[in-house]
Structure 1
């Protein structure tokens, strides 16, 4: 296989390449005529100091830059609805209004709640009577003045009313009625609709006088504190991330870096090939939901096979190293590179280079020799 290398370089490149690595842009055109090896004569090798090495196991890491947006915590965003049907009234809600947790923000009219409160109060009264009767029958049973059957019936009535009180009370509490203060003098016709937490009204979906059905969204409330960052990470970088790992984020409006931590890693990929990570972040003074952010993350160190970065030769959008086949012969091998750190580059297809001698000093001199041979 014959390789024609059209190189755009200075005329003195051969001398410079002996001492310093340079990036060379090339175009490659291939013909099937002979193998790709580059051969030197012993005399030529005396003029070029070629040094080889082998794959080395290194602990490498790198810093990546990712993009994303600020995001509300799930518990800080809620659409509020009613558990029952009714007429929506007495609302003064406006978008952007601050409300506090438990604040009554509207009411709902439904005549059924009158019946439920009545049933609850009647059940409480019957429960007191049933309890007194059960206790009296238990005392009589001790002296055989009351049969076991009568005692069991009294106990049944007592337990039945207790269950009814518990059921009706739970229903009324779910609707927002305080059963601790409920009595025959303060039966309510309207249900209070309360803010579930302190926050801002983001959206109002209904107006006063609207008759709504259960689970109809009434308004949306958000709490913009404790925002999260939702960041996109390339698939290849996901294995080197871990929970509690530090990140440093900034916005377009404020380049000051804010420290954060990775809280969750979602390895399910998007159609574009990204995974998503959710991060906490400090110093949220000027952050609002939906802002674009940029973050830097130092990937965790990991063991990998690597070669000195000077050994890598790039041309035609591919990366190569030269392998020494014998004392005067060298062959290019394509490599897939990974992390670059501290003068070393990770090799992802390391199996192709195990037990090989790899040129790391004056590799470009071999490239130039190959070019000269082709021209001849």
Structure 2
């Protein structure tokens, strides 16, 4: 009975020992030699090229799409302040105008009525003003009552309020109040452009009748246009520190620069993207509101070494390169790949500095390493 137990125990120990030897052997097999050394006259050296590569800063080019927009303060809506008939339309959609240019005229008998009422209100104000002053003098001589003075005062201030209201209407119509008081009446209302810009819409025709507060024109000031470009949330981290984008419009192939003013901190529901708000660095008359924009920007810089794709050696999911330590000796070192593309890698390692990196013939060294391994 005892001998049987001892046999089983010894057998278990032997199995465990064999298993451990296999694990140790397997782990040993996964350790790569670090050094590859050839004899000075080995012909393989002719097919291996090393180059000193300096650490640099590298950026990606990120393609963007966007649109030309006008801020709300650059869009001017021109309304009629009186009813009447449209006359002398001088602009059309797309016309460039300067502030103060004539857009059209409005004619109606009511325009004369407004001026006549203004004159009537002025006469009433003068009458009530004189009466108020007269009552103040009479009260001083005890020739009138305080009640009568108060009535004159109220009449004066009421007339003043009516006159000021009518004067404001006269001014808003573009009339000179002093000219009207001197007897020079206006036969029509002249609508002027409130800003430099482009007429983006004309909503009336020659001779058409319009009511008061009717929208007639829309004018866009092209001096303050901006660009909005859209990026996916996955690209956002690469563009957080950009200051400039480069863009072209569909109608004009000129490459322009725009300064990044703001990068949105949230994703828009409609586009599922993040908006970058930019201002063109140079003013241009060729930008059209609503026009599509193709743009690009350079991502945040990455510090590292740019090597050809075939210089990298991957083993057990780890990445290595070869550096040359002497004429015929090469060393395998681990690296971190920061960025990949179809032909190059950007890598980093604290063991590279000062040593040439094998850029051609790395496959020869790989074969030698694997043969030794």
State the TM-score, normalizing by the size of structure 1.
0.59
**Which of residues 95, 114, 129 in structure 2 aligns to 1:97?**
95
**Structure 2 match to 1:292:** 293
Instruction: Give the number of the structure whose residues are more often strand, by fraction.
Output: 1
In structure 1, what is the Cα distance between the partners aligned to 2:92 and 2:255? Answer: 34
How far residue 282 of structure 1 moved from its aligned partner, in angstroms, is 0.8
Following superposition, the deviation at residue 63 of structure 1 comes to 6.8
Residue ranges of structure 1 left out of the alignment (5+ in a row): 1-37, 50-60, 302-319, 323-336, 345-364, 370-376
- 1:68 is matched with 66
Q: How far, CA to CA, are the matches of 2:134 and 2:194 in structure 1?
A: 46
Cα–Cα, structure 1 residues 250 and 143, in superposed 2: closer, same or farther, change >3 Å? same
Partners of 1:62 and 1:132 in 2: CA distance: 81
Of 165, 168, 191, 2:166 maps to: 168
- 2:155 equivalent to 1:154: no
Residue deviations 1:95-140, cap 9 Å, x none? 4433321222211123223222222211112212222221222233
Counterpart of 1:278?
277
Cα 1:192–1:285, aligned 2, differ >3 Å: closer, same or farther? closer
C-alpha spacing 1:208/1:287, structure 2 compared with 1 (3 Å): closer
Task: Tell me how far 1:160 sits from its aligned partner.
Answer: 0.5
Cα distance in 2 for partners of 1:87, 1:168 equals: 22
Q: Secondary structure at the match of 1:131?
A: helix
Larger radius of gyration: 2
TM-score by length of 2: 0.60
What is the CA deviation profile of residues 259-280 of structure 1, one whole-angstrom value per residue up to 9, with x for unaligned ones? 4131573735143411223211
Distance change (3 Å), C-alpha of 1:135 and 1:240? farther
Determine the C-alpha separation between the residues in 2 that align with 1:125 and 1:300.
Answer: 76
Asked if 1:246 is matched to 2:247, the reply is: no
Q: Displacement of 1:236 after TM fit?
A: 4.4
- Deviation of 1:298 after TM superposition, in Å, equals 4.5
Instruction: Report the CA distance shift for 1:141/1:295 in structure 2 as closer, same or farther (over 3 A).
Output: farther
Tell me how far 1:214 sits from its aligned partner.
3.4
SS of the residue 1:231 aligns to: strand
Closer, same or farther: CA 77–339 of 1 in aligned 2, 3 Å: farther
Instruction: Tell me, in whole angstroms, the C-alpha distance in 2 between the residues paired with 1:151 and 1:342.
Output: 93
Distance 1:233 1:199, change over 3 A: same
The unaligned stretches of length 5 or more in structure 2 are 1-22, 35-58, 303-315, 319-337, 349-365
Paired residues for 1:97-116 under 5 Å: 97-116=95-114
Tell me how many residue pairs correspond in the alignment. Answer: 274
Show the 5 A alignment for 1:1-376: 41-47=26-32, 64-183=62-181, 185-236=183-234, 246-251=243-248, 254=253, 256-263=255-262, 265=264, 267=266, 269-285=268-284, 287-289=286-288, 290-296=291-297, 298=299, 343=347
